[in-house]
Amino acid sequence: MFSSKEEFKKFFMNRIADKRSQKSLEMAFETLWEMTHEWIQENWNRTNQLYEKEPEKQLYYFSIEFLIGRVLGQNLVNLNFYDVVKEGLDELGLKLSEIEELEDEPGLGNGGLGRLAACFMDSLASLALPGHGYGLRYKGGLFTQHFVNGNQTEQPTKWIKEKNNADARQKDLAVEVAYYGDVQLVVGTAGVKRTIENPVWVKAVPYDLPIVGANGGTINTLRLWQAEVSERPFPSTKDHTVYEHETAKITDRLYPDDSLESGKILRLKQQYLLCSASLQDLLRNPSFPVEEIPENIAIQINDTHPALAIPELMRILIDDHSLGWEQAWDITTRTISYTNHTILTEAMEKWDCHLIQSLLPRIYLIIEEIDLRFKESLQNQGKTVDVLRKLSIIEEGVIKMAVLAVVGSYKVNGVAKLHTNILKKREMKELNEQFPNKFHNKTNGITHRRWLIKANPELSELITETIGARWVKEPERLDELHSFAQNPSFLQDFQAVKKLKKEQLIYHLQRDQNIVVDSASIFDIHIKRFHGYKRQLMNILHIQMLYNRIKHDSTYRPYPRTFFFGGKAAPTYHFAKQVIKMINTIASKVNNDPLVREHLHIVFVENYNVTQAEYLIPAAEVSEQISTASKEASGTGNMKLMMNGALTIGTFDGANVEMFEQVGEENAFVFGMRAEEIMQYEKEKSYNPKEIIEGDPEIAKMMRQLATGKFTDGKINADFIVEQLLEDKDPYFVLKDIHSYAKAHEKILKAYDNPMKWAEMSVKNMAASGIFSSDRTIQQYSDDVWHLSKVPSIH
Ligand SMILES: *Cc1c(COP(=O)(O)O)cnc(C)c1O
């Protein structure tokens, strides 16, 4: 390694000269990539040797998504090489930022859930904790989004480059996963056990990614499985060609979130591949007896997608290691813990019994027995039929994965206080009463190393100049900024950084999407997956409202605002796609109206992903966190924006509640109904949006404009939207909350009138955001659930 810029330059030039004589950007990228990987490899080996030599308990985070974003620049940051490399390259006439842009981010996730897994990996390694990830290596990550006539189109994303493949592939560690087949009883010396005869084998090949902790000390492993055709004999009863076709496809693509499509059997195959391959890998040649798994291994399942780890671990212990049921169950339920991410009924995973029965016959028998034994114990406790039904894992021919996950794990957590309380009091009330000590809260977090240090180096530098560098290691020290929240020179510096980040975003948008934005306007940013509950519809309806006012009230001339949107809709989610079309259509109407465009501008950023988020978030002044209260389990975008000094306009939902608690409601724009009110309305089915429309001329007019298509010049068919608001009774309470939302926006304009006061509020948000670092979240998991010890320093 090198310690100075000069040394780096020498190193780099030698390498580049080794290959070809000219230094194109691509070659610079390759060289830098290789160099970083060599540095990483050294410490990676050392970390692995430590894990072997002094086996301490290890955590494995099972997740169907890891939305890691670009890695080159982040690795340089975590290795503390970023500045040296940047300056060295500058002197060689190369721009590091341009080199970084050559990396395609692997889209191995849909949104928050996958990004959380990535933030957790970063925090585990950075806190020097022995924690690794297991996931899948989808050939085609999440689709690339383009707009054609305002409609979302989806192109496959090919992110894998052959040259990066070779290093990561661990072909000697491949395992075989069994699908289909017949369960046979075998009576051996150790008792009765079961084998699977004539299964269809699929080979799972691991690809390893290094997870570089802060200061490059601990380097953990993210192991991603890829499905391949097995060399094992094929059962004579099945059609070979179909099988080869299918297995080669298991890890071909990432399933879109909220996917409503059929062909979900592939998704089930993915879930089992993840669980079976990872568990086989963990128990390959353990350095401890299987009876001691819980003392040596903790497994966290990220939502229910990896819940098959429960019956799969039971299968391995009983069938492969000849343990009895009770002992296997005791081990399993002391090893696995579960994180719940949603209470939306449609997102609660359920599988048809017959599907699992035919694809995974042995796993089905185990789930059935777990259910049977659990029900028996409940009956013995004298539970009512109603409670029994709610607590059953199998009900009316379907397997309820959330119940399986709760019953089979030792700890269950929600991801923000409000969400955990709703789980305990409503959605999982009976389960919580049955297992009163299982449920706990772990409010989500984000890694400040990506979302502040990497994404906003200018702000990070200002913070360090102001309070010293200790916040980098201890992000809760950001609260030391409080004493500068009224310091005029600091506030001016903050404003200058914000302005710079706005201009950088503008430059980027102009270059990539040919969009021109006024840097003096208020940057109001709404970025997240498109979903009814996230209420992008309410935002665009409010803009329609503003448009009408500007047109018809000549005294209403508000300060210029740019409304940014970013996000993808699941390809089969027609309502969400209609909202995307509506935003694009209204955008061209607003942006082309000579009067209105002086005040309102709409920018819809194509293909929202981690990389785009890193450009958008540092430039944000207003953060839209406007979900229907009770629906957003936590949110993490809200935290990233807060940490970068954006002010939140938001409902009392998810982690917003805790953010407001930290920063004080006077430093945010809180609006809308509370979770209890919403849930009351839902219970009584007493909300009737027609009454609102009839009693409110402004809303009535907007609805007419939509229904007749006049407002949008016939360019959209708003049927889906009108239907949801009327026939479906506005399930996300858009019309109910919209006036309260509009009032909060009025308050924003008033506050923005006083730039120093605005800056003060921004700084208070940054100062209060430290607790939302995922370092805090991970430390809490470790203390309360996993019980890990720090890896000794290798430096
Ligand atoms: C943080 C993040 C999310 C989650 O955003 P929410 O606002 O919490 O839904 C989704 N996608 C990307 C790319 C992110 O970085």
In this prediction, residues 351-359 reach a mean pLDDT of: 94
Residues 66 and 114 sit within 8 Å (Cβ to Cβ): yes
**How many H helices and E strands in the chain?**
34, 22
> Considering the domain boundaries, does residue 684 fall inside one?
no
Which of 16-20, 59-63, 244-248, 470-474 shows the lowest per-residue confidence on average (mean pLDDT)?
Answer: 16-20
Residues 778 and 788 sit within 8 Å (Cβ to Cβ): no
Boundary residue ending a domain (390, 416, 444): 444
In this prediction, residues 468-492 reach a mean pLDDT of: 98
CA of 259 to the centre of ligand 1 (A): 18
Quick one: pLDDT at residue 740? 98
Q: How many residues does the chain have?
A: 795
- Ligand 1 probe mutation, 344, 452, 610, 648, most atoms within 8 A of CB: 610
Which of 502-516, 733-747, 769-783 shows the lowest per-residue confidence on average (mean pLDDT)?
Answer: 502-516
Q: Is the CB of 135 under 6 A from ligand 1?
A: no
Q: How far apart are the first and last CA of the chain?
A: 13
Tens digit of each residue's pLDDT (9 = 90 or more) over 600-651? 999 999 999 999 999 999 999 999 999 999 999 999 999 999 999 999 999 9
Q: Please check whether residues 376 and 468 belong to one and the same domain.
A: no
Residues 712 and 584 sit within 8 Å (Cβ to Cβ): no
Q: Please check whether residues 92 and 233 belong to one and the same domain.
A: yes
- Whether residue 66 is predicted with pLDDT greater than 80 in this model: the reply is yes
CA of 416 to the centre of ligand 1 (A): 16
Quick one: pLDDT at residue 610? 98
Quick one: pLDDT at residue 260? 57
**AA letter at 321:** H
Q: Is the CB of 455 under 6 A from ligand 1?
A: no
Tens digit of each residue's pLDDT (9 = 90 or more) over 142-182? 999 999 999 999 998 888 876 666 679 999 999 999 999 99
Q: Is the CB of 735 under 6 A from ligand 1?
A: no
Strands (E), 259-401: 297-302, 336-339, 350-352, 394-395, 398-400
Residues 69 and 209 sit within 8 Å (Cβ to Cβ): no
Boundary residue ending a domain (444, 473, 506): 444
Quick one: pLDDT at residue 1? 64
The residue whose CA is least distant from atom 15 of ligand 1 is 610
CATH code of residue 619: 3.40.50.2000
- Closest ligand 1 atom number to CA of residue 640: 1
Quick one: pLDDT at residue 515? 87
DSSP state of 169: B
Q: Please check whether residues 270 and 386 belong to one and the same domain.
A: yes
Place 479 in a pLDDT band, splitting at 50, 70 and 90. Answer: very high
In this prediction, residues 63-85 reach a mean pLDDT of: 96
- Closest ligand 1 atom number to CA of residue 609: 13
161: helix, coil or strand? coil
> Considering the domain boundaries, does residue 698 fall inside one?
no
Residues 152 and 568 sit within 8 Å (Cβ to Cβ): yes
Q: What percentage of the chain has pLDDT greater than the value 70? A: 96
- Whether residue 262 is predicted with pLDDT greater than 70 in this model: the reply is no
210: helix, coil or strand? strand
Tens digit of each residue's pLDDT (9 = 90 or more) over 690-739? 999 999 999 999 999 998 887 877 777 788 899 999 999 999 999 999 99
Long-range CB contact pairs, 695-703, < 8 A, 24+: 698/545, 698/548, 699/735, 699/738, 701/548, 702/541, 702/544, 702/545, 702/548
Which of 240-244, 740-744, 783-787 shows the lowest per-residue confidence on average (mean pLDDT)?
Answer: 240-244
Q: Please check whether residues 437 and 468 belong to one and the same domain.
A: no
Boundary residue ending a domain (396, 411, 444): 444
Q: Is 767 left (phi over 0), alpha (psi -120 to 50) or beta?
A: alpha
- Whether residue 795 is predicted with pLDDT greater than 60 in this model: the reply is no
Q: Please check whether residues 379 and 471 belong to one and the same domain.
A: no
> Considering the domain boundaries, does residue 722 fall inside one?
no
Q: Is 322 left (phi over 0), alpha (psi -120 to 50) or beta?
A: left
Q: Is the CB of 636 under 6 A from ligand 1?
A: yes
What DSSP line would sit under 524-573, residue for residue?
A: EEEES---GGGTHHHHHHHHHHHHHHHHH-TT--PPPEEEEEE----TT-
- Closest ligand 1 atom number to CA of residue 610: 13
Query: Is the dihedral angle over the CA atoms 684, 686, 687, 688 positive or is it negative?
Result: positive
Q: Is residue 468 packed enough to be buried (19+ CB in 10 Å), middle (13-18) or exposed (0-12)?
A: exposed
Classify strands 647-650 and 669-670 as parallel, antiparallel or unpaired. parallel
**AA letter at 18:** D
Tens digit of each residue's pLDDT (9 = 90 or more) over 542-572? 999 999 999 999 999 999 999 999 999 999 9
- Whether residue 258 is predicted with pLDDT greater than 70 in this model: the reply is no
Q: Please check whether residues 186 and 78 belong to one and the same domain.
A: yes
Calculate the alpha carbon distances from 737 to 535, 652, 706 in Å: 10, 12, 19
CA of 382 to the centre of ligand 1 (A): 45
Q: Please check whether residues 465 and 440 belong to one and the same domain.
A: no
In this prediction, residues 734-748 reach a mean pLDDT of: 98
Q: Please check whether residues 420 and 537 belong to one and the same domain.
A: no
In this prediction, residues 382-392 reach a mean pLDDT of: 94
Residues 362 and 183 sit within 8 Å (Cβ to Cβ): yes
Place 278 in a pLDDT band, splitting at 50, 70 and 90. Answer: very high
Phi and psi (nearest 5°) for 186? -125, 125
- Whether residue 192 is predicted with pLDDT greater than 90 in this model: the reply is no
The owner of tokens 């049927």 is 719
Q: Please check whether residues 255 and 183 belong to one and the same domain.
A: yes
Quick one: pLDDT at residue 670? 98
What integer best gives the mean pLDDT of the chain?
93
What DSSP line would sit under 572-609, residue for residue?
A: T-HHHHHHHHHHHHHHHHHHT-TTGGGTEEEEEESS--
- Whether residue 186 is predicted with pLDDT greater than 90 in this model: the reply is no
Q: Helices (DSSP H) in 79-177: which residue ranges?
A: 82-91, 96-100, 112-126, 162-168
Alpha carbon of residue 685 to chain centroid: 32
> Considering the domain boundaries, does residue 23 fall inside one?
yes
> Considering the domain boundaries, does residue 680 fall inside one?
no
> Considering the domain boundaries, does residue 711 fall inside one?
no
Quick one: pLDDT at residue 190? 65
Quick one: pLDDT at residue 719? 83
Classify strands 622-625 and 297-302 as parallel, antiparallel or unpaired. unpaired
CA of 608 to the centre of ligand 1 (A): 9
Range of the structural domain that residue 150 is part of: 5-444
Q: Please check whether residues 653 and 748 belong to one and the same domain.
A: yes
736: helix, coil or strand? helix
pTM attached to this predicted model: 0.97
CA of 67 to the centre of ligand 1 (A): 10
Q: Is the CB of 111 under 6 A from ligand 1?
A: yes
Task: Take residue 121 and report the two structure tokens written for it.
Answer: 């990996």
The residues with which 437 forms a beta bridge, in sequence order, are none
Q: Please check whether residues 363 and 427 belong to one and the same domain.
A: yes
Domain count for the chain, please give it.
2
In this prediction, residues 325-345 reach a mean pLDDT of: 95
- Give the closest residue to 360 by CA, choosing from 488, 451, 426, 271: 271
Quick one: pLDDT at residue 391? 96
> Considering the domain boundaries, does residue 311 fall inside one?
yes
- Ligand 1 probe mutation, 115, 623, 632, most atoms within 8 A of CB: 115
Residues 184 and 197 sit within 8 Å (Cβ to Cβ): yes
Place 242 in a pLDDT band, splitting at 50, 70 and 90. Answer: low
Quick one: pLDDT at residue 159? 85
In this prediction, residues 430-459 reach a mean pLDDT of: 97
CA distance 726 to 379: 45
The owner of tokens 């290795």 is 79
Quick one: pLDDT at residue 371? 98
Classify strands 394-395 and 175-179 as parallel, antiparallel or unpaired. unpaired
> Considering the domain boundaries, does residue 706 fall inside one?
no
Catalytic residues: 341, 528-529, 534, 636, 640
Tens digit of each residue's pLDDT (9 = 90 or more) over 86-126? 999 999 999 999 999 999 999 999 999 999 999 999 999 99
- Whether residue 246 is predicted with pLDDT greater than 80 in this model: the reply is no
CA distance 218 to 499: 36
Q: Please check whether residues 438 and 470 belong to one and the same domain.
A: no
Helix axes 361-380, 325-332, angle to 10 degrees: 90
